[in-house]
Amino acid sequence: MTPMPGLSAIVITKNEASNIAECLDSLAFCDERIVVDSGSTDDTVRIAEGKGAKVVQHAFAGFGAQKNFALSLAQGEWVLSLDADERVSAELAGEIIAAIGHSTGDCYEMPRLSSA
């Protein structure tokens, strides 16, 4: 029997070929990476599969519904949800690993920096 992944990463996409590789690279510390794509016409799916992500097609039903569908596919005890244009720094990855390794809570939130 395959052990359950500890940390799943979920990303929803549509035509994110310019972003998905770097996003998935920044999630390499996760045990499972899932991309839910809603009909990309660019190379998003090929790139994501090439990076080792599990890719599932799902018609877009709104951002919340799409993220919840992705969440339903995750096998990990913990789930990290990112957008394709977001990255996890090495420092943040270390903090996430430490936090879930010594978990005393049910969830964590982190500050985000958005730039134009």
Name the band, by pLDDT with cuts 50, 70 and 90, for residue 14.
very high
- On whether residue 24 sits in a domain, the answer given is yes
Confidence (pTM): 0.90
- On whether residue 114 sits in a domain, the answer given is no
- On whether residue 71 sits in a domain, the answer given is yes
- On whether residue 115 sits in a domain, the answer given is no
- Asked if pLDDT for residue 4 goes beyond 90, the answer is no
Q: What DSSP character marks residue 17?
A: T
Domain that holds residue 88: 7-100
Do the Cβ atoms of 27 and 33 come closer than 8 Å?
yes
Instruction: Flag the least confident range among 18-27, 78-87, 97-106.
Output: 97-106
CATH number where 41 lies: 3.90.550.10
**Number of domains composing the chain:** 1
Instruction: Say how far apart CA 93 and CA 78 lie, in whole Å.
Output: 13
pLDDT 10s digits, 38-65 = 999 999 999 999 999 999 999 999 999 9
Instruction: Say how far apart CA 89 and CA 93 lie, in whole Å.
Output: 6
User: Cα–Cα distances in Å, from 51 out to 57, 66, 68, 109?
Assistant: 17, 21, 23, 26
Given this model, what pLDDT does residue 55 score?
98
Q: What is the DSSP string of 39-52?
A: --SSSHHHHHHHTT
